[in-house]
Amino acid sequence: MIRILFVCLGNICRSPMAEGLMRRRLELEGLEDQLELDSCGVGDYHAGDPPDPRARREAQRRGADIEALRARRLRRDDFERFDYLLCMDDSNLEALRAMAPPESRAHVGLLLDFAPSRGEREIDDPWFGGADNFTRVADQLEAACDGLLDHLRGQGRLH
Protein backbone atom coordinates (compact mmCIF):
# COMPACT_ATOMS: atom_id res chain seq x y z
CA MET A 1 0.00 0.00 0.00
CA ILE A 2 1.33 3.40 -1.02
CA ARG A 3 0.25 6.23 1.26
CA ILE A 4 -0.05 9.78 -0.12
CA LEU A 5 -0.82 12.94 1.84
CA PHE A 6 -1.78 16.10 -0.06
CA VAL A 7 -0.92 19.30 1.83
CA CYS A 8 -1.95 22.94 1.44
CA LEU A 9 -2.37 25.85 3.82
CA GLY A 10 -5.80 25.33 5.38
CA ASN A 11 -7.02 22.03 3.87
CA ILE A 12 -10.25 23.43 2.45
CA CYS A 13 -9.37 24.13 -1.21
CA ARG A 14 -6.36 22.61 -2.95
CA SER A 15 -5.49 19.55 -0.89
CA PRO A 16 -9.04 18.17 -0.52
CA MET A 17 -9.54 18.72 -4.26
CA ALA A 18 -6.30 16.81 -4.90
CA GLU A 19 -7.43 13.97 -2.63
CA GLY A 20 -10.83 13.75 -4.31
CA LEU A 21 -9.54 14.02 -7.87
CA MET A 22 -6.87 11.38 -7.22
CA ARG A 23 -9.42 9.09 -5.56
CA ARG A 24 -11.61 9.44 -8.66
CA ARG A 25 -8.64 8.55 -10.89
CA LEU A 26 -7.97 5.45 -8.77
CA GLU A 27 -11.60 4.35 -9.01
CA LEU A 28 -11.61 4.75 -12.79
CA GLU A 29 -8.42 2.70 -13.11
CA GLY A 30 -9.30 0.07 -10.49
CA LEU A 31 -6.36 1.06 -8.29
CA GLU A 32 -8.20 2.16 -5.14
CA ASP A 33 -6.89 -0.81 -3.16
CA GLN A 34 -3.25 0.11 -3.87
CA LEU A 35 -3.10 3.66 -2.55
CA GLU A 36 -4.24 5.29 0.67
CA LEU A 37 -5.01 9.00 0.35
CA ASP A 38 -5.50 11.82 2.82
CA SER A 39 -5.12 15.59 2.92
CA CYS A 40 -4.26 18.21 5.52
CA GLY A 41 -3.14 21.78 6.00
CA VAL A 42 0.02 23.19 7.52
CA GLY A 43 -2.20 25.51 9.58
CA ASP A 44 -5.19 24.76 11.76
CA TYR A 45 -7.25 27.71 10.52
CA HIS A 46 -10.14 25.55 9.33
CA ALA A 47 -9.77 22.35 11.40
CA GLY A 48 -13.00 20.35 11.25
CA ASP A 49 -14.48 22.42 8.42
CA PRO A 50 -15.67 20.95 5.11
CA PRO A 51 -13.99 21.96 1.86
CA ASP A 52 -14.83 25.37 0.43
CA PRO A 53 -18.11 25.24 -1.54
CA ARG A 54 -16.29 26.33 -4.71
CA ALA A 55 -13.83 23.44 -4.32
CA ARG A 56 -16.70 21.01 -3.74
CA ARG A 57 -18.51 22.24 -6.86
CA GLU A 58 -15.43 21.99 -9.08
CA ALA A 59 -14.53 18.53 -7.78
CA GLN A 60 -18.13 17.36 -8.27
CA ARG A 61 -18.12 18.75 -11.81
CA ARG A 62 -15.19 16.40 -12.46
CA GLY A 63 -16.84 13.39 -10.84
CA ALA A 64 -15.14 13.61 -7.43
CA ASP A 65 -17.18 13.83 -4.24
CA ILE A 66 -15.32 15.64 -1.44
CA GLU A 67 -18.37 16.54 0.66
CA ALA A 68 -17.45 14.26 3.59
CA LEU A 69 -13.84 15.50 3.93
CA ARG A 70 -12.95 17.63 6.93
CA ALA A 71 -9.92 19.85 7.35
CA ARG A 72 -7.15 18.80 9.69
CA ARG A 73 -3.69 20.04 10.51
CA LEU A 74 -0.45 18.30 9.55
CA ARG A 75 0.86 16.10 12.38
CA ARG A 76 4.39 14.96 13.10
CA ASP A 77 3.36 11.30 12.77
CA ASP A 78 2.23 11.98 9.18
CA PHE A 79 5.92 11.81 8.24
CA GLU A 80 5.99 8.19 9.46
CA ARG A 81 2.59 7.15 8.16
CA PHE A 82 2.83 8.45 4.59
CA ASP A 83 5.27 7.61 1.79
CA TYR A 84 4.62 10.88 -0.05
CA LEU A 85 3.77 14.28 1.44
CA LEU A 86 2.98 16.45 -1.55
CA CYS A 87 2.30 20.14 -1.14
CA MET A 88 0.95 22.87 -3.32
CA ASP A 89 3.45 25.70 -3.05
CA ASP A 90 6.88 26.68 -1.78
CA SER A 91 5.61 28.07 1.53
CA ASN A 92 3.88 24.74 2.26
CA LEU A 93 7.08 22.94 1.28
CA GLU A 94 9.16 25.10 3.61
CA ALA A 95 6.73 24.36 6.48
CA LEU A 96 6.88 20.61 5.80
CA ARG A 97 10.66 20.56 5.70
CA ALA A 98 10.84 22.52 8.97
CA MET A 99 8.49 20.06 10.64
CA ALA A 100 9.93 16.82 9.21
CA PRO A 101 11.72 14.63 11.75
CA PRO A 102 15.34 14.02 10.71
CA GLU A 103 14.71 10.26 10.54
CA SER A 104 11.76 10.60 8.14
CA ARG A 105 12.14 8.70 4.88
CA ALA A 106 8.97 10.10 3.32
CA HIS A 107 9.21 11.90 0.00
CA VAL A 108 8.41 15.56 0.69
CA GLY A 109 7.95 17.71 -2.39
CA LEU A 110 5.70 19.76 -4.63
CA LEU A 111 2.78 18.00 -6.29
CA LEU A 112 3.38 19.82 -9.58
CA ASP A 113 6.85 18.26 -9.77
CA PHE A 114 4.95 15.28 -11.22
CA ALA A 115 3.66 17.41 -14.11
CA PRO A 116 6.82 19.07 -15.45
CA SER A 117 5.31 19.61 -18.90
CA ARG A 118 3.00 22.25 -17.42
CA GLY A 119 6.00 24.48 -16.74
CA GLU A 120 4.69 25.46 -13.31
CA ARG A 121 6.02 24.77 -9.82
CA GLU A 122 3.25 25.98 -7.59
CA ILE A 123 -0.50 25.60 -7.39
CA ASP A 124 -1.73 29.01 -6.29
CA ASP A 125 -4.33 29.26 -3.55
CA PRO A 126 -7.70 29.90 -5.25
CA TRP A 127 -9.32 31.14 -2.01
CA PHE A 128 -9.42 34.84 -2.99
CA GLY A 129 -10.52 34.26 -6.56
CA GLY A 130 -13.66 33.17 -8.33
CA ALA A 131 -14.79 29.92 -9.92
CA ASP A 132 -12.20 30.31 -12.72
CA ASN A 133 -9.41 30.02 -10.17
CA PHE A 134 -10.83 26.72 -8.92
CA THR A 135 -11.12 25.43 -12.48
CA ARG A 136 -7.46 26.31 -13.17
CA VAL A 137 -6.37 24.66 -9.91
CA ALA A 138 -8.35 21.52 -10.72
CA ASP A 139 -6.65 21.35 -14.15
CA GLN A 140 -3.24 21.57 -12.43
CA LEU A 141 -4.22 18.94 -9.87
CA GLU A 142 -5.47 16.50 -12.49
CA ALA A 143 -2.26 16.84 -14.50
CA ALA A 144 -0.17 16.33 -11.36
CA CYS A 145 -2.22 13.31 -10.26
CA ASP A 146 -1.81 11.73 -13.70
CA GLY A 147 1.94 12.39 -13.53
CA LEU A 148 2.15 10.91 -10.04
CA LEU A 149 0.39 7.74 -11.19
CA ASP A 150 2.78 7.51 -14.16
CA HIS A 151 5.70 7.94 -11.76
CA LEU A 152 4.45 5.16 -9.48
CA ARG A 153 3.86 2.87 -12.47
CA GLY A 154 7.37 3.62 -13.72
CA GLN A 155 8.76 2.53 -10.36
CA GLY A 156 6.78 -0.69 -10.59
CA ARG A 157 4.77 0.24 -7.50
CA LEU A 158 1.33 -0.13 -9.11
CA HIS A 159 -0.06 -3.23 -10.77
pLDDT in tens, 36-95: 999 999 999 999 999 999 999 999 999 999 999 999 999 999 999 999 999 999 999 999
Topology of 2-154 in CATH? Answer: Rossmann fold (3.40.50)
pLDDT of 18 > 90? The answer is yes
Q: What's residue 59's pLDDT?
A: 98
Fill in the amino acid letter for 14.
R
Active site residues: 8, 14, 125
Cα–Cα dist 47/1, whole Å = 27
Domain residue ranges of the chain, discontinuous segments joined by +? 2-154
Cα–Cα dist 158/10, whole Å = 30
Q: Facing residues of 6 across strands?
A: 39, 86
Question: Hey, is 29 helix, strand or coil?
Answer: helix
Q: What's residue 159's pLDDT?
A: 82
Cα–Cα dist 33/146, whole Å = 17
pTM of the model: 0.98
pLDDT band at 129 (very low <50, low <70, confident <90, very high): confident
